[in-house]
Amino acid sequence: MSPPSADQTLPASQADVASPARLDSPRGPGRAAPGAGGAAADAASPSRLDSPQGDSEDRKLPWRDTLKVYLEPATLRMLALGFSAGLPLLLVLGTLSFRLREAGVDRATIGFLSWVGLAYAFKWVWAPLVDRLPLPPLTTLLGRRRGWLLFAQALVIAGLVGMALNDPRDGLHPLVWCALLAAFGSATQDIALDAFRIESAATRKQAALAAAYQTGYRLAMIWAGAGVLWVAAWAEVSDTGGYQNAAWRTAYLVMAASMAVGVLTVLLSPEPERRPLAAPKGAVAWLQSVLIEPFADFIRRYKWQAALILSLIAIYRISDVVMGIMANPFYVDMGFSKDEVATVSKIFGVIMTLVGAFVGGILSMRFGVMRVLMLGAVLSAASNLLFAWLATRGHDLTALVAVVSADNLAGGIASAAFIAYLSSLTNINYSATQYALFSSMMLLLPKFIAGYSGVFVDRYGYISFFTATALLGVPVLVLVALASRARKASD
């Protein structure tokens, strides 16, 4: 998340989802799962849910059973895989913007380079291939989901190593190409991981898996946002001012090595069971089942509500995604050092991240996803106003602590609810394709607008920028209210 996530991330994603959010807040990007078979057979196949809304939200689990879900193997695996998903997002977006600003790259260029994150927004294009096609010989050795996961993780590692070995002062092109490779691998990992997650547990437990995923995701965001700054600061040569590329090289190589968490989890995890689906007859039937049927299925199930749902998905994370790409340049311009930013996010960001993700998952299972979705939308917009206030304080470490704490709490709550909501919309026969579409849509418009964030800041300043991003959240509140009303009417 993908992407907060999504620099991403959320994000299935996420992202976050996806998402390139603030200091270490992805608002996680969302992610997805499988399909195959002829169009007729697939259309007749039962959805993951008994209705478009899934299990009734009025049926509540006892508190003891609710908490036990977090100790199940599937939930613990999702914690580690969430870490693997969240690690690349900031390294190609938010953390990269800190590095580039420190290297003297102007804000407008940094804003436009955030379009590297559009790889997450277009992952639906190749999601059907990840959903359906085998990947020899990895599929034979590990299974389809784990095979694609391992392949995607290898791409991420290669991209991060390339970013480590290139100095932005010598030219941005090689660094950008390596960032694109890492982003493509990360987006592909998101597709396979969303499928793996959705297929690993029943609908009723998806909120818990989403919360565990978000916890791992946000811990990785903190490691990739704060940890990388610590490593870079530690590797710097003392009494040498200015940008030191050798320090950043060490930091990015450490991040590449950290992907071992996800690699080991994939190798040690069981492949989720897949429903046997009839093979399509001919190329036309295959294209129908892979490219058209997943989207047609969604329209058939939700009818007129589909437009409302897709509109909500498209802008739910717009406030924090648009704001997020300028967060790290903002810290640099306010005079905060790498150590200060890293320390604040480590001590206060981790605590509030864990609290937010846990509370969001618990509240979603107890009181329903839609109520928590509204709460998350309100908190996301409000936290942007805190950054506008921070811009008036200058180099105020206490104020930074307060803002980062509130931001991470809001991000955890919003992400857990949003990913659970996206998961409830999918049909298990097309979960990878449909979830990739949802999580891509949530990043496309926000990422495009975010590309102009540096130009906006140069012209109007940080206070106006943060205030404007908060106002972008107002239409989200309206759409959540309408979607909630439509959902109750359907039930």
Higher pLDDT, 357 or 157: 157
Residue 14 · residue 28 · CB < 8 Å: yes
Indicate the length of the chain as a whole number.
Answer: 491
Among the listed residues 220, 211, 194, the one whose alpha carbon sits nearest the alpha carbon of residue 414: 211
Whether 39 shows a pLDDT value over 70: the answer reads: no
15 falls within a domain: no
Write out pLDDT tens, residues 448-468.
999 999 999 999 999 999 999
34, pLDDT greater than 70: no
Instruction: Name which of 372, 480, 426, 449 is nearest 191 in CA terms.
Output: 426
Q: What confidence score (pLDDT) does residue 24 get? A: 38
Whole-number pLDDT of residue 433: 73
Q: Residue 453 to residues 42, 245, 248, 321, 327: CA-CA distances in angstroms?
A: 43, 26, 25, 10, 10
pLDDT at 55 over 50: no
List beta partners, residue 17. Answer: 14
pLDDT of residue 121: 80
Specify the pLDDT at position 61: 56
pLDDT, one tens digit per residue, over 187-209 is 999 888 888 887 776 666 667 78
Lowest-confidence range among 166-180, 187-201, 316-330?
Answer: 187-201
Averaged confidence pLDDT in the chain: 80
Least confident of 37-46, 113-122, 361-370: 37-46
More confident residue, 6 or 116: 116
Token duo for residue 432? 């990878």
The two counts, helices (H) then strands (E), for the chain are 27, 0
Domain membership of residue 288 (yes or no) is yes
**Sign of the dihedral through C-alpha 259, 260, 263, 268:** negative
pLDDT grade for 11, boundaries at 50, 70 and 90: very low
CA torsion sign, 74 to 75 to 78 to 80? Answer: negative
Residue 73 lies in a domain: yes
Residue 25 within any structural domain of the chain? no
Q: To which residue do tokens 């294009």 refer?
A: 125
- Give yes or no for residue 410 having a pLDDT over 70: yes
pLDDT at 478 over 50: yes
CA 89, chain centre distance (Å): 8
Q: How far apart are CA 190 and CA 18, in angstroms?
A: 10
Give me the half-sphere count of Cα atoms (radius 13 Å) on the Cβ side of residue 460.
Answer: 13
Query: In terms of pLDDT, which residue wins out, 433 or 403?
Result: 403
Q: What is the pLDDT of residue 87?
A: 94
User: What pLDDT is attached to residue 41?
Assistant: 34
- Checking if the pLDDT of 391 tops 90, the result is yes
Q: What is the pLDDT of residue 4?
A: 37
Structure confidence at residue 69 (pLDDT): 64
Mean pLDDT, to the nearest integer, of 380-395? 93
CA distance 488 to 491: 5
Sign of the C-alpha dihedral, residues 16, 18, 24, 25? negative
Q: Report percent pLDDT > 70 for the chain.
A: 80
In a domain, 12, yes or no: no
Q: Indicate the range of 51-60, 169-178, 302-311, 358-367 predicted with least confidence.
A: 51-60
**112 — pLDDT class (breaks 50, 70, 90):** very high
Query: Collapsing DSSP states into helix, strand and coil, what is residue 14?
Result: strand
**Segment 248-299, tens digit of pLDDT:** 999 999 999 999 999 999 998 888 776 555 565 666 776 777 677 888 888 8
More confident residue, 46 or 251: 251
Q: Which residue has the higher pLDDT, 295 or 373?
A: 373
pLDDT at 197: 82
Number of domains in the chain: 1
Rounded distance, CA 62 to CA 200, Å?
22
Q: Quick one: pLDDT at residue 25? A: 40
Confidence bin at 3 (pLDDT 50/70/90):
very low
Q: Which of 217-221, 382-386, 485-489 has the highest mean pLDDT?
A: 382-386
CATH number reported for the structural domain that contains residue 147 in this entry? 1.20.1250.20
Structure tokens at 394: 């200058």
Asked if residue 90 lies in contact with residue 342, where contact means CB atoms within 8 angstroms, the answer is no
Q: What is the mean pLDDT of residues 225-246?
A: 85
Answer whether residue 8 shows pLDDT above 50: no
When pLDDT is cut at 50, 70 and 90, the band that residue 434 belongs to is confident
The pLDDT value given to residue 203: 62
Q: Are 413 and 359 in contact (CB under 8 A)?
A: yes
Domain span at 70: 39-490
pLDDT > 70? residue 38: no
- Residue 175, Cβ density class (10 Å: 0-12 exposed, 13-18 middle, ≥19 buried): buried
Q: Is residue 97 part of a domain?
A: yes
Alpha carbons 225 and 98: distance in angstroms, whole number: 9
Q: Does position 353 have pLDDT exceeding 90, yes or no?
A: no
With respect to residue 13, please indicate whether it lies within any of the assigned structural domains.
Answer: no
Q: Is the pLDDT of residue 60 over 80?
A: no
Q: Is residue 174 part of a domain?
A: yes
Measure the CA–CA gap between 319 and 383, rounded to whole angstroms.
9
